[in-house]
A and B are shown apart, each in its own frame.
Chain A
Amino acid sequence: FMLTQPHSVSESPGKTVTISCSRSSGPIDSYYVHWYRQRPGSSPTIVIYEDNQRPSGVPDRISGSIDKSSNSASLTISRLKTEDEADYYCQSRDATNSWVFGGGTKLTVL
């Protein structure tokens, strides 16, 4: 299966942005969806795991959800800050024992 994300999104500071992640085949809830943030020149870090769980240190203005009707997951960041500018990747697992990433979304906070 594939995970499809928009190539880029942009929004102003203080606003809310949602990044989608659409699963091509199989139910979105067959395996958990996870989200990573990657700032330029840095390695990825987890921001949401198991659909909607926040690791310690991630602020509650970052949230995750899944929508079975659209077979997709979403990452929502509210009260946007310039420090949120980064690439965001969704990731899930496959029944054939592989781990799959979405193509990534570049978030610009302008």
Chain B
Amino acid sequence: QVQLVESGGGVVQPGGSLRLSCTTSDFIFSNYGMHWVRQAPGKGLEWVAFIRFDGRLKYYSDSVKGRFTISRDNSRDTMYLEMSRLRTDDSSVYFCAKDPNPHAAQGDNWFASWGQGTLVSVSS
């Protein structure tokens, strides 16, 4: 059973920084592309960022480009999201999600497994 566990959420002031982690188990992490998806309280889902299985290709949504950095450590089966210059509208539950198929060169088209999410609140 694929396990994805997010951590690192919390309360941060506008303009501040935070690093989220997604620790995984029960699949070969280094073979799969991974994503961050967020959900503001009471709102819908918003894709945030993607990193290819080998870490060499990354995509970002326009709303976070230049402020957030996605990375991964395949030796630790862990993905990260470094968030800086945080704004109040970044307040959300952040989910990590996994590609369904291994070795997708441009990332796969849907999200096969999701973690339980970690809450980020940006407030003064």
Contacts and interface: CB of A to CB of B under 8 A. Distances in A.
A1 interface: no
Interface stretch (A10-18, A40-48, A70-78): A40-48
A98 B46 CA distance: 10
B9 to A, nearest CB: 14
Interface in B59-87: 59, 61-62
A79 B35 CA distance: 34
B116 A100 contact: no
Chain B binding surface, main DSSP class = loop
Interface residues of B, number: 21
Contact of A49 (B35, B106, B110): B110
B100 A103 contact: no
Q: Max chain A CB contacts within 10 Å: which of B45, B46, B107? A: B45
B106 A99 contact: no
Nearest to B107: A97
